[in-house]
């Protein structure tokens, strides 16, 4: 049955779902309760209720099976909980020092915010006479040789376990810069050596952990933007102001968040026939909120309803994400890699790379749309960074070869162009004319394939519910999916 509640309660639930990973069929149940069929044509109503009946039937079947009720995949993104425990230990240790020495304690920080922790650490490090430079890495960054392991009749290579639990220093921060006894007695009178050293250890440990937290927050932003673009910035009041706009935005974001399927072909595109009709209805509504629509889709017919100031703000946000993704790609790129072979090798962090490349390409598409919409063609002609390909799994690459296909031709174009992050961050030039010549040499249409124009989906997908997946492979039985999840077969963390 449809979810109970007033229209406002349903819209608030849809808004919360923008920051989650709800499947499209879950959103459809709310749209039926919202009576979205009153806005749709006969074909759109048929598609809406077809998915609704499919999901209701699946839930009725799953309810009978005790081990699998609802979707077996998590509906929330992985989120670092923060450093409440490490911060509490460091704050307690520093409080003992400040109390004994008669000094003022640093202003309290938010343990889930790296910037707030950074301000607290700066004061604590100065109090303890420690350097404010970057800490030693919390985990080892030194390359490790693989170890050959033989089991029965076959062998394989694996990475050895590091000698230290965490990093080259065995997990301990470098405390060589702490005060000597004479300096400590002068600057921190009344503080025992034991209390001082305890504060040093806890603060340096928190400094290490804060660097990890900052990197994790960057990863979370890349994941959120790469999948649902700027949906996490949509204000609730704006979202609730137009139900038609809210219906399209919630459904389209659910389509954007669909998981990747293990296939040698192309993935499903986010814009299906139902989303297309919902978008048309939203644009025609008298209460339409084009700013909300433009946060997740930068088509020109949406941007035409924004003024130049709004387009400028939106372009700045997209470019900020473009630059952040460029920095992540520059950190993760191996300069010795053959750029014509974007296939995962041993030691590659493909998850981080693919997350950053997806966010880069999404930000690039939105930025190009906004440049064209504002008439800044001269900017694009002067600087047109290329697309960044994902790292393809070795088994998928072998699958392609078995079918007689090679890597996508875009990989050869990207290999001939300057590195996109160098172009974005100002280290290299890549005019649009260079991109056109490179595409012509490789037999690629730069306009149609999204090299010098924003990529456009050429057709509408048929509406279909998102399947349960185990490493990209569909599982027909909810019971089997639940069993596999409990045994850790699903990727990601609970």
Evaluate whether 358 touches 226 at the Cβ level (below 8 Å): yes
Between the CA atoms of 393, 397, 400 and 401, what dihedral angle is there, to the nearest 10 degrees? -160
Least confident of 46-50, 376-380, 479-483: 479-483
Please write the tens of the pLDDT for every residue from 205-244.
Answer: 999 999 889 888 888 888 889 889 999 899 999 999 999 9
pLDDT of 168: 47
Predicted model pTM: 0.78
Given the structure tokens 């994790």, which residue do they identify? 216
Please write the tens of the pLDDT for every residue from 360-380.
Answer: 999 999 999 998 888 888 998
Q: What kind and span of H or E run contains 147?
A: strand 147-151
Looking at the DSSP bridge assignments, the partners of residue 188 are: none
List Cβ neighbours of 167 (8 Å cut-off, separation of 6 or more): 136, 137, 138, 139, 140, 141
Give percent above pLDDT 90 in the chain. 54
**Mean pLDDT value of segment 448-474:** 74
* CB environment 144-165: b (16+ within 10 A), e (fewer): eeeeeeeeeeeeeeeeeeeeee
Reduced to 3 states (helix: H, G, I; strand: E, B; else coil), residue 363 is: helix
Measured between its terminal Cα atoms, the distance across the chain in Å is 28
DSSP state letters, 50-80: HHHHHHHHHHHHHHHSTT--S-SS-SS----
Of 244, 276, 274, 281, the C-alpha closest to 48 is 274
Evaluate whether 228 touches 257 at the Cβ level (below 8 Å): yes
Q: Is 278 exposed, middle or buried (0-12, 13-18, 19+ CB in 10 A)?
A: buried
Given the structure tokens 């961050």, which residue do they identify? 425
Evaluate whether 442 touches 412 at the Cβ level (below 8 Å): yes
Domain ranges of the chain: 84-214, 306-453
Cα gap 451→437, rounded to integer Å? 11
Evaluate whether 14 touches 30 at the Cβ level (below 8 Å): yes
Please write the tens of the pLDDT for every residue from 96-122.
Answer: 999 999 999 999 999 999 999 999 999
- How many helices (H) and strands (E) the chain has is answered by 20, 4
Half-sphere CA count of 366, side-chain side, radius 13 A: 28
Q: pLDDT band for position 165 (50/70/90)?
A: very low
Structure tokens at 293: 């629509």
Of 261, 262, 260, 264, the C-alpha closest to 399 is 264
Backbone CA torsion sign across 181, 182, 187, 192: positive
């Amino acid at each position: 049955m449809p979810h109970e509640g007033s229209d406002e309660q349903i819209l608030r639930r849809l808004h919360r779902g923008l920051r989650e990973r709800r499947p499209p069929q879950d959103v459809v149940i709310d749209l039926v309760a919202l009576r979205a069929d009153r806005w749709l044509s006969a074909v759109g109503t048929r598609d809406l209720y077809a998915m609704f009946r499919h999901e209701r039937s699946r839930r009725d079947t799953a309810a009978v099976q005790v081990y699998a009720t609802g979707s077996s995949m998590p509906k929330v993104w992985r989120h670092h909980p923060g450093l409440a425990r490490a911060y509490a230990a460091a704050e307690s240790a520093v409080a003992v020092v400040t109390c004994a020495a008669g000094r003022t304690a640093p202003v309290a920080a938010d343990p889930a915010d790296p910037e707030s922790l950074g301000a607290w650490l700066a004061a604590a490090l100065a109090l303890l006479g420690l350097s404010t430079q970057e800490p030693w890495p919390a985990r080892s960054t030194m390359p490790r040789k693989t170890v050959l392991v033989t089991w029965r009749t076959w062998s394989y290579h694996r990475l050895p376990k590091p000698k230290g639990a965490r990093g080259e220093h065995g997990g301990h921060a470098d405390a060589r810069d702490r005060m000597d006894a004479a300096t400590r007695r002068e600057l921190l009178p009344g503080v025992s050596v034991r209390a001082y050293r305890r504060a040093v250890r806890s603060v340096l440990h928190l400094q290490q952990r804060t660097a990890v937290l900052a990197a994790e927050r960057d990863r979370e932003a890349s994941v959120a933007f790469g999948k649902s673009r700027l949906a996490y910035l949509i204000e609730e009041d704006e979202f609730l102001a137009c139900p038609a706009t809210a219906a399209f935005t919630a459904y389209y974001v659910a389509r954007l968040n669909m998981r990747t399927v293990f296939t040698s072909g192309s993935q499903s595109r986010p814009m299906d026939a139902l989303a297309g009709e919902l978008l048309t209805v939203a644009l025609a509504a008298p209460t339409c909120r084009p700013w909300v629509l433009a946060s997740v889709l930068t088509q020109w017919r949406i941007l035409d309803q924004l003024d130049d100031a709004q387009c400028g703000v939106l372009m700045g946000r997209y470019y900020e994400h473009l630059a952040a993704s460029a920095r992540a790609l520059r950190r993760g790129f191996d300069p010795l890699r053959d750029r014509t072979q974007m296939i995962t090798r041993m030691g590659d962090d493909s998850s981080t790379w693919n997350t950053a490349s997806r966010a880069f390409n999404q930000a690039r598409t939105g930025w190009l749309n906004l440049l064209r919409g504002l008439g800044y063609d001269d900017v694009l002609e002067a600087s047109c960074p290329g697309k960044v390909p994902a790292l393809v799994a070795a088994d998928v690459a072998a699958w392609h070869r078995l079918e007689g296909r090679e890597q996508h031709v875009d990989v050869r174009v990207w290999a001939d162009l300057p590195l996109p992050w160098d172009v974005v961050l100002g280290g290299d030039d890549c005019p649009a004319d260079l991109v056109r010549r490179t595409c012509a040499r490789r037999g690629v249409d730069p306009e149609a394939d999204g090299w010098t124009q924003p990529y456009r989906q050429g057709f509408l997908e048929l509406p279909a519910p998102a399947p349960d997946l185990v490493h990209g492979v569909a599982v027909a039985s909810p019971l089997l999916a639940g069993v596999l999840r409990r045994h850790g077969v699903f990727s990601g963390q609970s």
